Amino acid sequence: MAAITPQELDLLIQQTYKVENEFNDLKASYAHLQDTVEKVVEFLPNAIWILNSDATVFLQNSHARELSELLKLLEYRDEDYEITFHERSYLVKSASYKDKIMLSATDITEQKRKENLATMGQMAAHLSHEIRNPIGAISLMSSTLIKRVKQENIPIVEEIQKSVYRIDRIIKATLMFSKGVQPHKSRVDWREIRESLDASIYYYEYSKNIKFIFPEDDFSMYADKDLLEMLFTNFITNAIDAIEEGESEEGEVVVTHETDEAYHIFKIYDNGIALENKKDLFEAFKSTKLKGNGLGLVLSRQIAQAHGGSVNLCADEKKKCFEIKISI
């Protein structure tokens, strides 16, 4: 075997150093690539898991860590699928590459809620249109009938009118929800709103002795009269229903009014049953009331917002109370 010359040994050493340097560069490049992948995965808005062949986690982002229990319910499929976890809906996608499986879970709860609301709104609007004509005919005929029937039959016709009034309110609310709130503002006196509320209370059916206390001073607002009537009627009838469902035989509904530099501020109190599921108060088609359709508070908030204001539960109030703000 021929001996290695010094020149050949030097060349071999140089080649060894070169291979080592290339290896270190490759390792650094791989580490940089892995770091980049981790940053991209972390940046994504959905939960991402990359699993080894034995189902252990190779890589995951912070969203995935928060949903670690959800991972136990996921499986690899050739097609996307939906899953419900802790009252939230997720769209699950999966893919595989060599010995790795990637799973992603995207929260689509809000999207599904909007889709469901749109579908329900369309159905409700269609039904309301179908019901509106016969209800109008019944209302017209009852108005004619009450002038002709015997005195002892007048209460029967009045009950028909009250029922028609209630259905008409539901129809108006449903159609407004489907079309959206579009105010036509003019100068409105509180006296006009008060007269409308008195009429609504008269037509609204209830059995208990309820006292209504409204602001006595007259004042004016730049607003849509019909929309404000609907807003306040919703709260008054909600208060009546809460009192009807309560244990006390005596009820009280109080409306107060004050102003600041920007708003007319109304507060509405009642001594009915306590509010339940406060997080769903302003969710359409959700109602805990026996008579509710789940649109009253939603529309009331939209009406207030269309007038530059808001509707919220009162802060730091011992009594049950809603605060309504209407822009001056």
C-alpha–C-alpha distance, residues 230 and 232, integer Å: 6
End-to-end Cα separation, the chain, in angstroms: 105
281-322 residue pLDDT tens: 777 666 655 555 567 788 899 999 999 999 999 877 778 899
Q: Would you state the pLDDT for residue 83?
A: 93
Point out the least confidently predicted range of 66-75, 185-194, 316-325. Answer: 316-325
What is the residue-averaged pLDDT of the chain?
83
Residue predicted with more confidence, 233 or 282: 233
Asked: is 181-328 a CATH 3.30.70.20 domain? The reply is no
Higher pLDDT, 295 or 255: 255
3-7, 51-55, 101-105, 280-284: which has the minimum mean pLDDT? 3-7
109-180 CATH, one of 1.10.287, 3.30.160, 3.40.50, 1.10.1200: 1.10.287
Domains in the chain: boundaries: 39-107, 109-180, 181-328
Point out which residues pair with 256 in neighbouring strands: 267
Helices (H), the chain: 6-43, 62-66, 68-71, 109-145, 154-179, 190-203, 225-245, 296-306
- For 240-249, how does the pLDDT look when each residue is reduced to its tens digit (9 = 90+)? 999 999 888 8
Compute CA distances 322 → 64, 110, 155, 190, 200, whole Å. Answer: 39, 26, 35, 19, 19
Q: One-letter amino acid identity for 228?
A: L
For the record, the structure tokens of 197 come out as 């509320």
Does position 258 have pLDDT exceeding 80, yes or no? yes
Quickly tell me which residue has 């699993």 as its tokens: 51
Q: What's domain 39-107's architecture?
A: 2-Layer Sandwich (3.30)
168 burial class (0-12, 13-18, 19+ CB within 10 angstroms)?
Answer: middle
What pLDDT, on a 0 to 100 scale, did the predictor assign at position 42?
Answer: 79
CB 310 within 8 A of CB 301: yes
Structure tokens at 288: 């805990």
What is the rounded average pLDDT of the residues 197-202? 89
